[in-house]
Amino acid sequence: MPINFLLRSAREQRNIVYSFISYLKIAPVKLQIKVITKRADMNRHIETVRREMAQETNESCRMQQEDYLKLLKKLGSREAIARRFFLIMEHEPLPGEKKDREEADAISSLQTAARTAANYLRQCGNSVVQHENEDEAAAEMLYTFLCRRESTDIPFLQRISHITSNYIKAGCSIDEISVGDFFAPSQLDFTHGSYVYVDGIYLRRNWGGEYENVAILVAIAVNEDGFREILGAAEGMKEDKTSWVSFFQWLRGRGLNGVKLIVGDKCLGMLEAVGEVFPDAKYQRCVVHFYRNVFSVVPKSKVKIVAKMLKAIHAQESKKASREKAKAVVAELKAMKLKEAAKKVEDGIEETLTYCDFPSEHWTRIRTNNVIERLNREIRRRTRVVGTFPDGNSALMLVCARLRHVAGTQWSCKKYMNMKHLEAVMDDASVAG
């Protein structure tokens, strides 16, 4: 169980940090920290408060309870989050270890590592949960890991009862139930939402005694429930067509499908890669990056004026109106003797208007890849300290670590958009077709 570090005294904070450092020095090399974040269930506590209100006779106390109830409802809808922390360790057999003793040695080694971790975590002020039935606890953990959405609505005990009753109805014996049935997903759905955002981050690495840039490609999506989730990250060397094709194929190979829109900057070869790997998906060029590209050929004294002109294009209520406004802006830029800027707008404006083909309620969310900028800032903040990485793999590992950190916060628990609007548009399109 976690502790509130900020509520501890300065001395206690130092002791906690030193205890954790001491553990990391002796911790297994292959150690993972898994965090399961869920929206906290406040209903039980809310019902308790309501019962107390019904029995309260003092009017002033009732008013205070009503205010407290409003606060609980507000927290429950926005900020109430429950987290569970797990340490995952992997046994590494020693050289020359006998195979007939391999399983017993692995169990003994992992048990020792678990006891050591528990002792040090207690020194840090944490409470370590001890399970009476380790097999049942392991099955419940796997159920939580593999069935994130289902486990939120259906507790593990209810899942066990459901599986057992299904076996009995089918005329099978309870002894025939496989352990995996209790935690395996009821169905595999790899549709990660219709909107996918991609971006590349350049980091420095050492290659053969020389320093060069390496691109880490990152993809996130808005799933069918309207929540953001990280799809993956990979080393891309350069943001060229080959790198993007390889990255998209890797995501598709892991099960990514159902993509309707890919949002990103106009990197070299990205547009071709999207058409090759996801032919049914449309491409939206990030409006912010498009503006920056136009500003690169505009004098500083005229950037503000040009910015207002470009924003006016994407403030229109339809794609037709935006196109007409773009023509007017191009003509105005030419009149201002900004021919290069006019050409960039004329050549690239259509790629920035793809969002108009989707629900208007989503326009502000899908015409830029600002959703991924939060991740980029966190990554750059951490990687800036390192400077130059010894290789691309070490850079990728740090990036993935920060991505997992962000994903474990409210970033992934706060609803980003209402996907029912898209469903309605798709249904109307299918009817019209």
CA dist., res. 15 & res. 329, Å (int): 62
- Predicted pLDDT at 410: 67
Residue type, 188: L
48 close to 4: Cβ distance less than 8 angstroms: no
Which range is least confidently modeled, 37-46, 217-226, 374-383, 414-423? 37-46
Where do the H-state alpha helices sit in 296-419?
Answer: 303-313, 319-335, 339-348, 363-366, 373-386, 392-407
High-pLDDT (> 90) share of the chain, %: 21
Q: At what angle do helices 287-295 and 339-348 cross, to 10 degrees?
A: 160
pLDDT at 193 exceeding the cut of 70? no
The mean pLDDT value of the chain amounts to 82
DSSP 132: S
Which pLDDT tens digit goes with each residue over 272-317? Answer: 888 889 998 999 999 999 999 999 999 999 999 999 999 999 999 9
297 close to 340: Cβ distance less than 8 angstroms: yes
Q: Band of the pLDDT at 350, cuts 50, 70, 90? A: very high
**Which of 35-39, 199-203, 235-239, 335-339 is modeled with the greatest confidence?**
335-339
Kindly state the average pLDDT of the residues 13-30: 87
Kindly state the average pLDDT of the residues 403-427: 75
Q: Band of the pLDDT at 372, cuts 50, 70, 90? A: confident
Which range is least confidently modeled, 161-175, 335-349, 392-406? 392-406
Residue 221, beta-bridge partner list: 196, 229
The larger pLDDT score, comparing residue 305 to residue 42, is at 305
The larger pLDDT score, comparing residue 95 to residue 219, is at 219
Q: At 251, list the tokens.
A: 């995501």
pLDDT at 393 exceeding the cut of 50? yes
pLDDT at 345 exceeding the cut of 50? yes
Q: Band of the pLDDT at 50, cuts 50, 70, 90? A: confident
314 close to 367: Cβ distance less than 8 angstroms: yes
SS3 173: coil
Burial class (CB in 10 A: 0-12, 13-18, 19+), 379: buried
- Predicted pLDDT at 433: 40
Q: What is the pTM of this model?
A: 0.61
Where do the H-state alpha helices sit in 27-155?
Answer: 43-55, 59-78, 102-123, 134-146, 148-153
The larger pLDDT score, comparing residue 344 to residue 271, is at 344
395 close to 383: Cβ distance less than 8 angstroms: yes
- Predicted pLDDT at 168: 85
In whole angstroms, how far apart are CA 305 and each of 293, 300, 336?
Answer: 15, 10, 11
Q: How many Cα atoms within 13 Å fall on the side-chain side of residue 309?
A: 24
Kindly state the average pLDDT of the residues 28-39: 77
Nearest by Cα to 263 from 232, 303, 290 = 290
Kindly state the average pLDDT of the residues 27-55: 79
Residue 199, beta-bridge partner list: 218
79 close to 410: Cβ distance less than 8 angstroms: yes
221 close to 197: Cβ distance less than 8 angstroms: yes
Strand pairing report for 228-237 and 81-89: unpaired
pLDDT at 188 exceeding the cut of 70? no
- Predicted pLDDT at 363: 92
Q: At what angle do helices 10-26 and 102-123 cross, to 10 degrees?
A: 170
CA dist., res. 426 & res. 433, Å (int): 10
